[in-house]
Amino acid sequence: MTTYAPQPGSAPFSRKVLAHTRMEFKLLIRNGEQLLLALVIPLGLLLLLGATGLGNRLPLGDARPIDDAVPRVLALAVLSSSFTSLAIATGFERRYGVIKRLGASPLSRGGLLAGKIGAVLIVQVIQFAVLVGAGFALGWKPVGGAQAVVGVVLTVLCGTAAFASLGLLMAGVLRAEATLAAANLIYLLLLVGGAVMTPVDEYPEGMQSVVRLLPSAALATGLSHSTVDGIIPWAAALSLALWAGVLGYLVSRTFRWD
């Protein structure tokens, strides 16, 4: 005989975060559009740039086309998983009342955020495994050894914090459909005009000072400096950390459970 006698309590924080990470990740890999953004577009772009000779004709940087292309495509992958996918998914979670349901559960705001970031990081590990593998197959030769690895990890973590904050901010203040449209638009605008695929120096002089300040420029430049020059990109990481701080503050001010 079942008893419904109250025995309330929250699971440990780590178990809640793990459960939420697992749920977000499972739902993401069932969603074809999300997979398109996270894997198919970056991989297609890398193959175009590295395997067709297109990279020779585009201003990717001063190194060999494949060496310039890989870190920039990795930046695009981080942008898609930490910003576009996250913003769209969270916007529709709000629309479907999922955020409200979770707000009436023991998950907590910190648990929700940690679970979402956890799912994004798992996606990024898969993105990096696929793209780095494809890069090596196309002849990519990164330099810098352990220093490059530290630079990449630092840049990706700071970039993820900045872009995830931007995505959560949009999902918190816009309707789901507006978030869908705006997140895709910003993804495209940053791809073309945000120094993701093209170094800042290639932009018209009047634009460079503005483009340089964008988080997308810091992300791509940071990854490029890490694997092309073999240095830890402290300036790019600091820029991304500042963006993360400002956007994270705005998220904390605008977040609501309904």
Partner 1 sequence: MPVAVEIENLVVRYGEKAAVDGLSLTVTGGTVTSVLGPNGAGKTTTVETCEGFRRPDSGSVRVLGLDPIADHDELMPRIGVMLQDGGAWSGVRALEMLRYVATLHSHPLDINTLVDRLDLGTCGRTPYRRLSGGQKQRLSLALAIVGRPEIAFLDEPTTGLDPLGRREIWQLIRDLRDDGVTVVLTTHAMDEAEQLSDQVHVMSAGKVIASGTPDALTEHHTKSLEDVFLELTAPKREIS
Least gap, CB of 35 to partner 1 (angstroms): 13
Residues in the chain: 258
C-alpha–C-alpha distance, residues 97 and 195, integer Å? 36
For residues 170 and 183, the answer to whether their CB atoms sit within 8 Å is: yes
Q: Smallest gap, in angstroms, from Cβ of residue 84 to partner 1?
A: 18
Say if CB 28 and CB 34 are below 8 A apart: yes
Q: Is 121 one of the binding residues for partner 1 (CB under 8 A)?
A: no
CB of 122 to partner 1, least distance (A): 17
Among 31, 147, 208, 252, binds partner 1 (CB under 8 A): 31
State the residue for tokens 């992958």.
77
Q: Does 146 bind partner 1 (CB under 8 A)?
A: no
Is there binding between residue 104 and partner 1 (CB under 8 A)?
yes
**How many C-beta neighbours within 10 Å does residue 257 have?**
12
Shortest distance (Å) from residue 255 CB to partner 1: 12
4 lines the binding site for partner 1 (CB under 8 A): yes
Close Cβ partners of 194 (under 8 Å, ≥ 6 residues apart): 211, 214, 216, 217
Stretch that binds partner 1, among 25-33, 125-133, 153-161, 202-210 (CB under 8 A): 25-33
Two structure tokens written together for 105: 């559960």
Q: In this chain, which stretch among 46-54, 102-110, 167-175, 193-201 interacts with partner 1, using CB under 8 A? A: 102-110
Q: Is 16 in the site for partner 1 (CB under 8 A)?
A: yes
User: In the set 106, 133, 139, 245, which binds partner 1 (CB under 8 A)?
Assistant: 106
Q: Is residue 59 part of the contact set for partner 1 (CB under 8 A)?
A: no
98 binds partner 1 (CB under 8 A): yes
- Per CB under 8 A, does 30 bind partner 1? yes
Residue among 91 and 222 whose Cβ is closer to partner 1: 91
Contact flag: residue 108 with partner 1 (CB under 8 A): yes
**Using an 8 Å Cβ cutoff, are 219 and 159 in contact?**
yes
- CB 136, CB 217: distance < 8 Å: no
Stretch that binds partner 1, among 19-27, 137-145, 160-168, 190-198 (CB under 8 A): 19-27
Torsion (CA) 81, 85, 87, 93 in degrees, nearest 10: -130
CA distance 15 to 114: 11
